[in-house]
Amino acid sequence: MQKLLHNLNPEQLAAVTLPAQSALILAGAGSGKTRVLTTRIAWLIQTGQISPQNVLAVTFTNKSAKEMLTRLSAMLPINTRGMWIGTFHGLCNRLLRAHHKDAGLPQTFQILDSQDQLSFIKRLLKANNIDDEKFPPRTVMYFINGSKDKGLRAAAVDAFDDFDRRMVALYDLYDAQCQREGVVDFAELLLRTYELLSRNQPLREHYQSRFKHLLVDEFQDTNDLQYKWLKLMAGSQAAVFAVGDDDQSIYAFRGANVGNMSAFEREFQVKNLIKLEQNYRSHGHILDTANALIEHNTKRLGKNLRTDAGHGELVRISESTSDIQEAQWITEEAKNLMREGSAGSEIAILYRSNAQSRVLEHALFSAGLPYRVYGGQRYFERAEIKHAIAYMQLMDNPHNDSAFLRVVNFPTRGIGARSLEHLQDSARQYNISLYAAVPYVSGKAGTSLANFVKLIEGARFETQNLPLPEMVQVVLDISKLLAHYQNEKEGADRIENLEQLVNAATVFVSEEGFGHSAPALTGPASQAAAGFLSLPGGIDIIDADAALPLVMSPLSAFLSHASLEAGDNQAQAGQDALQLMTVHAAKGLEFDAVFITGLEEGLFPHENSAKEESGVEEERRLMYVAITRARKRLYISFSQTRMLHGQIRYNTRSRFFDEMPEESLKWLSPKVQPNWYGNKKSAWDEASTAGANVIASQMAVTHAGSGWRIGQGVVHAKFGEGVIVNIEGSSNNARAHINFGQFGMKLLDLSIAKLDKI
């Protein structure tokens, strides 16, 4: 026991050894929350309060779940396989596999990742002759997922106008089509599980009695339905150990509700609130900057990070006249860091918008510095892998029309658009899948389609008793995918990726404990071995605590794994190159040196934040996350002008600079001086008009007769200082778009507005 607890600080120790009551752990950035979570589980098991099968731990990424299992294996001599530790989606998938009949799903239901879901919706719109300009597929997808995240089926969604009514109708069509094809999207996994447990009392009570301790990581990122799901699983008896940081809640655009933390504290009558404020990552000046910034948010539970690592270096602030100059400065600084011995993988360049990366990439490429951009396609999202997976999906569930359409003519086998139109007409006529409709198509098209069906059936026959890795190899050969890419000019990388799929399958069966073939879950003896339980009322269910081999075939499990991995939002580190990414992608990561770029009003904080309730507070939390990624050195930069989306932007610096402690900052340009408004202001601000006017004279239009120019600095009695970014009309009819920083963009009539030139 002493070995288990000896390295914990007092707050961590208090959290780990709490009594069996619900608790809220406010875990600051770099405060060791994963350690607290895993040690809490180990302590509960080692003290005999629970067995490994009585733990339910929820994380937000597959990477975090694997890390927790690895740490637990090192702490205790237990077999972690089969423990309920995973993501919301992963755990719901596991429960639905065990209870697919009660959930109204086929045993071989398949999961649509985000790409597949979008393709599915495009196909749905086309099949129903719906204008995709009036109803963009991505908008429809967001509407459906947003409704599901709130726990609402189509019939329960309020529709206030014709557009909403059409969207609700599309949601209804979408649900029906998913049910016919035997597929579910990510949001459906959670909603279907919630509905199953809500209506099935014996099943709900079974899991509530089993899971006496629920532990939740990143609690601030839960959405409304996830919180409802947790409350349902907890019932009235379970102790919920919620770990989160309201200051790092940055996913409101995905439906995350930071208010769930306050609701949890109230609804679960939390008596134990522990703050983990000891930071083991960053030096003092970095933490002081983060603390001072986040204090300006009013809706927070409140904590203050501290460190024993000393103050460290000051936070460096750089001002540039353009984004090109900013990128060149970052490149030179990165070179210096690498000359001093820093690894490229320990240097991160963060930006608010992906559009900022182009200039940065150009500068790094020109300087010969290796770099890697996060947010690119993950392994299971690559086209060649999606093709191979689609063949396997058809072997497992032939009614998946999305998989059918992806590979029916890839590699090409003479099945054109007209043939598919005839097939789709037959499928609609008989309300069956495309695969089942093939016999209804005659002529040459029918023959070609029948040959494709024979190919799938042949692959299923040849692989029925093979181990999963050999099954994957047979699919690659029979599908002719390898042969196809051998004839492509740049097919070597794709072939290498496809061959890696066999290795991925080998690792998967090893980690999940699959044998050479799937267990046959039939007959009383098989049911007993698989963990079937008899509940009150004569209801027999399979207990989903068993490892995957007891509830899924190796192929079904691997296909689910591929979809869930493709939907994982956690980036993977490791390559020895400079790391470029959005601030959102950086969450959960840490680096020795961090550059935060583009600290300008309208960019960071983003201009959209002014339109949303608490929008600026979310942007401030995002900046807090960015700052706390840095261990030793932090650089923050902004520029006078920036080319974004094909237009020159003339910027004022971010309000966040005024919220940082001056004693922790080192301005690499002239020092900050108070201006005549009493606000902090750098020498760049004093010279901004001159610099902007030079650029404007070269690149922008001078509006004759109006007396104003794009790039002109102005002062307004109410809005303060601003920069003219565009002018409409001329002479007495001229109107100007002016960026007033904290007050955002304003459109003013120049003949009326009382503006002074700077």
pLDDT at 540: 42
pLDDT in tens, 7-52: 899 999 999 999 999 999 999 999 999 999 999 999 999 999 999 8
**What SS3 state is found at 53?**
helix
**Chain centroid, CA 318 distance in Å:** 30
- Write the CA distances from 555 to 163, 379, 529, 634, integer angstroms: 41, 18, 20, 46
Given 17, 34, 506, 742, the catalytic residue: 34
**Least trusted range by pLDDT, from 25-39, 187-201, 454-468, 700-714:** 700-714
Q: What is the DSSP string of 169-196?
A: HHHHHHHHHHHHHTEEEHHHHHHHHHHH
Euclidean distance between CA atoms 143 and 140, whole angstroms: 5
269: amino acid identity, one letter: Q
Say if CB 641 and CB 649 are below 8 A apart. Answer: yes
* Separation of alpha carbons 117 and 115, rounded Å: 5
How much is the pLDDT for 699? 37
Q: Distance (Å, rounded) from C-alpha 602 to C-alpha 618?
A: 14
pLDDT for res 549: 53
429 is catalytic: no
- Rounded to whole angstroms, the Cα distance separating 207 from 54 reads 9
418 is catalytic: no
Instruction: Give yes or no for residue 519 having a pLDDT over 70.
Output: no
Considering only CA atoms, which of 111, 123, 120, 256 is closest in space to residue 193? Answer: 111
Catalytic hit among 629, 649, 653, 681? 629
Residues 544 and 98: their CA atoms lie apart, in Å, by 5
- Contact in structure between 422 and 445 (CB atoms under 8 Å): yes
The pLDDT-based confidence of 337 (bands split at 50, 70, 90) is very high
Which pLDDT tens digit goes with each residue over 237-264? 889 999 999 999 999 888 889 899 999 9
Count the helices and strands in the chain (H runs, E runs): 29, 27
Residue located via tokens 């408004």: 677
Q: Which of 39, 220, 248, 652 is catalytic?
A: 248
**Catalytic residue of the set 11, 12, 33, 597:** 33
Asked if pLDDT for residue 757 goes beyond 90, the answer is no
Q: How wide is the angle at C-alpha 230 spanned by C-alphas 229 and 232, nearest 5°?
A: 65
Q: How confident is the model at residue 333 (pLDDT cuts 50, 70, 90)?
A: very high
Q: What is the distance between the alpha carbons of residues 61 and 571, in angstroms, rounded to a whole number?
A: 10
529 has pLDDT over 90: no
- Residue 265, token pair as written in the block: 């504290």
For residue range 133-154, list pLDDT tens digits in order: 999 999 999 999 999 999 999 9
- Tell me the C-alpha to C-alpha distance, in Å, between residue 730 and each of 151, 225, 440, 751: 53, 53, 67, 10
Query: DSSP labels for 251-313?
Result: -GGGT--TTHHHHHHHHTT--EEEEE-B-SSS-HHHHHHHHHHHTT-SS------B-SS---S
Amino acid at 624: Y
- Location of structure tokens 């009013």: 298
Q: Which residue has the tokens 């998967």?
A: 508
Q: Kindly tell me if the per-residue pLDDT of 644 is higher than 80.
A: no
pLDDT per residue as tens digits for the range 182-219: 999 999 999 999 999 999 999 999 999 999 999 999 99
| pLDDT for the residue numbered 231 | 95
Is 46 known to be catalytic? no
The 10s digit of each residue's pLDDT in 591-634 is: 999 999 999 999 999 988 877 768 899 999 999 999 999 999 99
How confident is the model at residue 670, as a pLDDT?
44
pLDDT in tens, 372-418: 887 666 778 888 999 999 999 999 999 999 999 999 999 999 899 99
Neighbours of 312 (CB within 10 A): 19
217 is catalytic: yes
Strand blocks (E) in 53-157: 55-59, 84-87, 110-112
Cα 712 to Cα 750: distance, rounded to the nearest angstrom: 13
| Contact present, 409 and 415 (Cβ < 8 Å) | yes
| Average pLDDT across the chain, whole number | 85
pLDDT band at 718 (very low <50, low <70, confident <90, very high): confident
Neighbouring CB atoms inside 10 A of 132's CB total 14
For residue 514, pLDDT beyond 90: no
User: Of these residues, 185, 188, 217, 600, which one is catalytic?
Assistant: 217
Catalytic residue among 11, 181, 188, 218: 218
pLDDT of res. 684: 38
**What are the φ/ψ torsions at residue 580 (nearest 5 degrees)?**
-105, 135
Q: Catalytic: 424?
A: no
Please answer whether residues 21 and 269 qualify as being in contact, where contact means their C-beta atoms are separated by less than 8 angstroms.
Answer: no
- Looking at the chain, the whole-number percentage of residues with pLDDT higher than 70 is 87
Check residue 536 and report its DSSP letter.
T
Instruction: Give the pLDDT of residue 39.
Output: 95
pLDDT above 60 (res 65) = yes
Displacement of CA 552 from its chain's centroid (Å): 27
Query: Which residues are bridge partners to 672 per DSSP?
Result: none
218 counts as catalytic: yes
CB atoms within 10 A of CB 372: 17
- For the entire predicted model, the pTM comes to 0.78
